[in-house]
Amino acid sequence: MRIGIGLPNTVPGTTGDLLLEWARRAEARGFAFVSTIGRVGYPSYDSLTALAAVAGATSRIGLVTNAVLGPTYPDAVLAKISATVDQVSGGRLTLGLGVGARESDYLPSERPFTARGRAFDRQLDFLQRAWRGEPVAEGDFAGEHRPVAPPGREIPILIGGHSAQAIRRTVRWGAGWTGAGGGPRRAEPTVREIQAAWREAGREGEPRLLGLAYFSADDRSSAESDSYLRSYYAYAGDHANTIAEGAVRTPDRIRGIIGEFADIGMTELVFTPTVARLDEVDRLADLVL
């Protein structure tokens, strides 16, 4: 199983310098990738901008958005930014995308919340055409169409969400699927459905399946970790308790969660931080690498 570590781009107290040093330390310790959480209506660092900076601060570690809220971006803007990050990083980007469940992310984006599913379907098709360098935008003259980014590779997409629509999108456009907080038990039914749908659609190989485990590797930080998660997921009511209580905060739970995700078929796992202290990278590496 490929093991990554999240950047603390949504954790209070994080600075820009910390993000870059966190990524350098993660690369030095041997994590397969770093990932970000994408929000708009929240005081966090933008995923793709942060990963562009990380690309310049590192040389080989993978870069994953987990996940950007695709429909909060105009299609051409997302295509251009993601292509730029992929090219300047030497093809290290995996674009995790979802629609999200918070209207508060769509209001400041001035994008319609209720139409986000239809917009996402159009966007996924647009992205793959744009990355191939196909003309997808109106040019300066009547009847003229232009690409919006230099031609490059089709960036791997991981689709987030547990709905039937998420499964359909994974099979049609995705390299695989990414799960949100909630642990292996919440992810397992969707994993089974994706594996079956993947085979039925005749897709070659196996889907990438990325699990997520919130963590704090110093048990002295448990209260701080718990408080952050309950605040971040406050909109979700009782589900916030499930996520906060499911975070792994002891050596046994941190090591054990890897096997639990592997047992349901996950191929990758990201440990997502809940405390913004650099020593969390080393503490986690000592336990899982």
Q: What is the pLDDT along the chain (289 residues), one digit of tens a residue?
A: 999 999 999 999 999 999 999 999 999 999 999 999 999 999 999 999 999 999 999 999 999 999 999 999 999 999 999 999 999 999 999 999 999 999 999 999 999 999 999 999 999 999 999 999 999 998 899 888 999 999 999 999 999 999 999 999 999 999 999 998 889 999 999 999 999 999 999 999 999 999 999 999 998 999 999 999 999 999 888 888 989 999 999 999 999 999 999 999 999 999 999 999 999 999 999 999 9
The pTM of the full predicted model, rounded to 2 decimals, is 0.96
| CB 76, CB 148: distance < 8 Å | yes
Using CA atoms, how far apart are residues 27 and 281, in angstroms rounded to an integer? 10
**What pLDDT does 87 receive?**
97
Minimal CA–CA distance to 36: which of 72, 62, 74?
A: 62
Using CA atoms, how far apart are residues 50 and 27, in angstroms rounded to an integer? 16
**What pLDDT does 236 receive?**
87
Q: How many CB atoms lie under 10 A from the CB of residue 135?
A: 13
CA–CA distances in Å: residue 95 to residues 38, 61, 67, 199, 267: 11, 15, 7, 23, 16
**What pLDDT does 239 receive?**
85
**What pLDDT does 181 receive?**
83
